Chain A
Amino acid sequence: MTSGLRSAFNFGLLGGVVAWHACLVGMVESFSERRLIGETVELSYVWLVGIVLLIGYLKARNVQAPGIAVFHSIVSGATIGAALTLLALLTSVFNLRDIFPFASPRLVELLTLERGIADALGLLFPILGGAVLGAAAGGLALAPPIWRRTITVALLVTVLIGLLRDIFAAIVPRDVVSLIFTSRGLLPMGALVVFVVSGALTWLIGTFGLPGISTDASSASRSVATPWKYAYLGFGVLFLLTFPLWGKLFLSNVANFIGLYIIMALGLSLVIGFAGMLDLGFVAFFAIGAYTMAILTSPKIGTFTLTFWQALPFSMLFAFLSGVVLGLPVLRMRGDYLAIATLGFGEIIRILALSNFLKPYMGGAQGITSVARPEIAGFVISKPEPFYYIVLIGCVVAWFVAARLKHSRLGRAWMAIREDEDVAQAMGINRVETKLLAFAIGAILGGMSGAFFAGLVGSVVPKSFELLVSINVLAVIIVGGMGSLPGVLVGALVLVGLPELLREFAEYRMLVYGAVLVVMMLFRPEGLWPEAVRKRELHKDETSAPQRVTTSVTASTTPSVKD
């Protein structure tokens, strides 16, 4: 019992550290003016509330008895609150601003609900608030899964819609906007409506499934009835085709970046997800594609002045060749060594582009401007809205290629290599050739994305090809789910789309990124939209629950006879 309490206290301390961190890097103070709901719910509190809920939830999950679990969550929550009270005291007694510029009087006001430390209620506020939220989190953890999911989704959706207010304002007619939004966030009524509607939808879908999609079997054998399938498909196609019309400039821009990342991530997915090779320098192929496009089309370099469409195959060809050239020596390496070698390659390309020595050919730090824009039937496509369609086609092509490959003979070989290289060879698979193909085909997609990027932006500079791009693409794949193609879409939407939409957090982007990845690894290590097999592997203990076992048995005792 006492050790249990101590663990609850430790969880609270951990949360306290995170909360302190959020306060001291300014995530609380900077957003105190950001009214998310009505005039009272500020974004600054949302962070702190989120931290308490998460910690309370985690704590309650690792305790068996329900009553004790909630009690422990309350202890954890109150501990976090106490840490914040302490921070408020420290901040007002000592001058911490030399070290932490955000440890300001304003922070104290925020933490004490504008009452200051002289007021006992002000000091108690974080502790009481923490305890209440801890209890809520504990209750949530114990709630039946469907309710847990409903409430979590509804909360997240509400916060997200509040955050995205400006974007809705840009694309939805003004009268509709003023129904649920204030000038900065959601109206209290609007928030309630969003919460209830999103919650109700989640509950309905969780209970009855989407119309036409049967939920009786596990997601491995989810099947869609044909008319509904066409309905969903039709809706999806319509959505994609009309996107720039209602998404306008801003959303088209965002969509284009998501698209470029999707193409890249599909390419890298072949390498990592299918063939299991950790490539940390994928940006190299993106850069090669972009620079090839720029060099071959820009009059500023002037050696060649091809059109966009003429240069595109060369971009892909050079990416392919560089994939082979890089692949031949490094594919004999395993694991870590491969990762480091590819990491180096990514940097080499960028540094070459930066170098003064190659400046006449690659433009040095200023890069290359006046890259050709694609032209269709006499129209030059330079605006993001029409360019969207080119990116969309690129995505469709890349998707098609990746999906076909996955189920091809080559895809099988990749999968076998990923599982066990020696055995794969014993099956008659040529290891070097197979891996090289993954590398080089992935590189083609990277190059294609790069070429689009150059044509979209109209210029290339070395700064666009930093290591961060490789990391982003990798994160897209991990968050989406290794080796899963729909996962790539989801991952790109979440990791590329959201940050673009939530520009306010630009400063904290990496911080949030890191936090998201950690939380993902804790809760959904298989990714947001995993392959069925991986999901099963990573949740073995849960799948052995009685009702799941019966479904897997029925699935396995009715083998479909193939050809």
Chain B
Amino acid sequence: MLTLKDIHTFYDKIEALKGVSLTVNEGEIVTLIGTNGAGKTTTLKTISGVHKPRQGEIIFEGRRIDQLPAHEVTKLGIAQSPEGRKIFGRMSVRENLEMGAFGRNDKDQIRKDFTRVLDLFPRLNERLNQPGGTLSGGEQQMLAIGRALMSRPRVLLLDEPSMGLAPVLVDHIFAIIKEINQQGTTVLLVEQNALMALAVANRGYVIQTGVVVMEDTAKNLRENEMVQKTYLGID
């Protein structure tokens, strides 16, 4: 469904991605794990069109999208919940969610998705008119995911949804990610929290300094010695 072929992305002269290839199949949760600075965020930004790759191809449902402007990519059905949530702090929760559906004009369906998001995150329902900036970290994460869902994406890109959250909330967020996936949305999940990510994912990729060094089913990765040592903290 979504394939990256030998993607090279630069920040000026720094080569942040040195030939990343990966595939996400329809209906899967795929996780991309790696330490800080490995290139996870850059991968997502390259997919969503905010950064253009200098080399390589991104193919989404048979179409090349690597040179499309970001807003076009969104319209094709790829949404992302960015690193650090980046919700619109001055807009209310409701307005944030409405922004998520900016590219759509099917009013009835938007309303349905609005209800669906609020069903997933009842906490947001209680805070609809509160400015996004006044939400707690966990609520902001829910809002960021909810906002991404409002574009009714076929693929949802999640950048470190567990970052900075209390363990209870992390469990909660991951349970919801699983639920979103079961409702039919394909998920590409970027995480430093490999333990949690590999628990919900079907397959995983390990990225190190801009290079994919391993790919396997989540189960195999969990049992892999190197992964255990480096990412799961098991000796």
B-side residues, CB < 8 A to A, are 45, 48-50, 69-71, 74-75, 79-80, 82, 86, 88-91, 94-95, 98-100, 102-104, 111, 125-131, 133, 147, 151
Contact A413–B102 (Cβ < 8 Å): yes
For residue A537, CB closer than 8 A to chain B, the reply is yes
Closest to B70 in A: A425
Q: Which 10 A-B pairs have the closest CB atoms?
A: A428-B103, A425-B70, A428-B74, A559-B128, A556-B130, A533-B90, A427-B102, A419-B88, A423-B86, A428-B71
A563: chain B residues at CB < 8 Å are 111
State the Cβ distance, B106 to closest chain A Cβ, in Å.
13
The CA-CA distance from A324 to B48 in the complex, in Å, is: 28
The CA-CA distance from A560 to B49 in the complex, in Å, is: 36
Closest to A559 in B: B128
State the Cβ distance, B128 to closest chain A Cβ, in Å.
4
Contact B71–A556 (Cβ < 8 Å): no
Selected A-B contacts with CB under 8 Å, 15 pairs = A412-B98, A420-B88, A426-B79, A426-B82, A427-B100, A427-B102, A427-B103, A428-B74, A428-B75, A429-B71, A534-B90, A537-B90, A557-B126, A559-B126, A562-B94
Select which of A409, A415, A423 is within 8 A of B90 by beta carbon.
A415
State the Cβ distance, B124 to closest chain A Cβ, in Å.
10
For residue A359, CB closer than 8 A to chain B, the reply is no
A425: chain B residues at CB < 8 Å are 49-50, 69-71, 74
Closest to B133 in A: A537
State the Cβ distance, A229 to closest chain B Cβ, in Å.
22
State the Cβ distance, B129 to closest chain A Cβ, in Å.
5
Contact A428–B151 (Cβ < 8 Å): yes
For residue A431, CB closer than 8 A to chain B, the reply is yes
What 0/1 pattern do residues 411 to 454 of A give for CB contact below 8 A with B? Answer: 01101100110111111111100000000000000000000000
Contact B50–A426 (Cβ < 8 Å): yes
Contact B102–A412 (Cβ < 8 Å): yes
What 0/1 pattern do residues 387 to 429 of A give for CB contact below 8 A with B? Answer: 0000000000000000000000100110110011011111111
Select which of A420, A430, A537 is within 8 A of B86 by beta carbon.
A420
A413-B102, A415-B90, A557-B126 given; A427·B74 CB < 8 A: yes
Contact A429–B90 (Cβ < 8 Å): no
B48: chain A residues at CB < 8 Å are 426
B128: chain A residues at CB < 8 Å are 556, 559
The CA-CA distance from A454 to B79 in the complex, in Å, is: 50
State the Cβ distance, B113 to closest chain A Cβ, in Å.
14
For residue A555, CB closer than 8 A to chain B, the reply is yes
Closest to B89 in A: A419
The CA-CA distance from A430 to B82 in the complex, in Å, is: 18
For residue A536, CB closer than 8 A to chain B, the reply is yes
Contact B129–A560 (Cβ < 8 Å): yes
Contact B91–A419 (Cβ < 8 Å): yes
Contact B103–A412 (Cβ < 8 Å): no
Contact B95–A412 (Cβ < 8 Å): yes
Select which of A413, A415, A422, A552 is within 8 A of B50 by beta carbon.
A422
Most chain A beta carbons < 10 A, residue from B86, B98, B99, B133: B99
State the Cβ distance, B121 to closest chain A Cβ, in Å.
14
Contact B88–A415 (Cβ < 8 Å): yes
B80: chain A residues at CB < 8 Å are 426
A423-B82, A556-B130 given; A431·B71 CB < 8 A: yes
Contact B99–A416 (Cβ < 8 Å): yes
The CA-CA distance from A428 to B72 in the complex, in Å, is: 7
The CA-CA distance from A508 to B183 in the complex, in Å, is: 68
A413: chain B residues at CB < 8 Å are 102
The CA-CA distance from A430 to B103 in the complex, in Å, is: 10
B50: chain A residues at CB < 8 Å are 422, 425-426
State the Cβ distance, A527 to closest chain B Cβ, in Å.
15
Closest to A483 in B: B90
B99: chain A residues at CB < 8 Å are 412, 416, 424, 427
Contact B70–A426 (Cβ < 8 Å): yes
Closest to B73 in A: A426
CB contact list, A514-563 vs B, under 8 A? 533-534, 536-537, 552, 555-557, 559-560, 562-563
The CA-CA distance from A11 to B45 in the complex, in Å, is: 51
B100: chain A residues at CB < 8 Å are 427
Contact A423–B71 (Cβ < 8 Å): no
State the Cβ distance, A432 to closest chain B Cβ, in Å.
8
State the Cβ distance, B103 to closest chain A Cβ, in Å.
3
Contact B88–A422 (Cβ < 8 Å): no
State the Cβ distance, A307 to closest chain B Cβ, in Å.
42
Closest to A536 in B: B131
B86: chain A residues at CB < 8 Å are 420, 422-423
Select which of B49, B82, B90, B125 is within 8 A of A419 by beta carbon.
B90
Contact B82–A422 (Cβ < 8 Å): yes
The CA-CA distance from A430 to B69 in the complex, in Å, is: 8
State the Cβ distance, B132 to closest chain A Cβ, in Å.
9
Closest to B44 in A: A426
State the Cβ distance, B2 to closest chain A Cβ, in Å.
16
Select which of B88, B95, B104, B111 is within 8 A of A423 by beta carbon.
B88
| Known contacts A413-B102, A536-B131, then 14 further A-B pairs from the complex at CB < 8 Å, ordered by chain A residue | A412-B102, A416-B91, A419-B89, A423-B82, A424-B99, A425-B50, A425-B70, A426-B50, A428-B71, A533-B90, A533-B131, A537-B133, A556-B128, A562-B94
Most chain A beta carbons < 10 A, residue from B50, B90, B128: B90
B74: chain A residues at CB < 8 Å are 425-428
The CA-CA distance from A243 to B131 in the complex, in Å, is: 40
The CA-CA distance from A164 to B124 in the complex, in Å, is: 53
B127: chain A residues at CB < 8 Å are 556
Contact B151–A427 (Cβ < 8 Å): yes
The CA-CA distance from A536 to B104 in the complex, in Å, is: 31
The CA-CA distance from A431 to B72 in the complex, in Å, is: 11
B90: chain A residues at CB < 8 Å are 415, 419, 533-534, 537
Contact B102–A429 (Cβ < 8 Å): yes
Most chain B beta carbons < 10 A, residue from A427, A534, A557, A560: A427
Contact B129–A555 (Cβ < 8 Å): yes
Contact B129–A428 (Cβ < 8 Å): no
The CA-CA distance from A556 to B111 in the complex, in Å, is: 21
Closest to A560 in B: B129
Most chain A beta carbons < 10 A, residue from B45, B48, B70, B91: B70
A423: chain B residues at CB < 8 Å are 82, 86, 88
The CA-CA distance from A242 to B164 in the complex, in Å, is: 61
State the Cβ distance, A488 to closest chain B Cβ, in Å.
19
State the Cβ distance, B109 to closest chain A Cβ, in Å.
14
A534: chain B residues at CB < 8 Å are 90
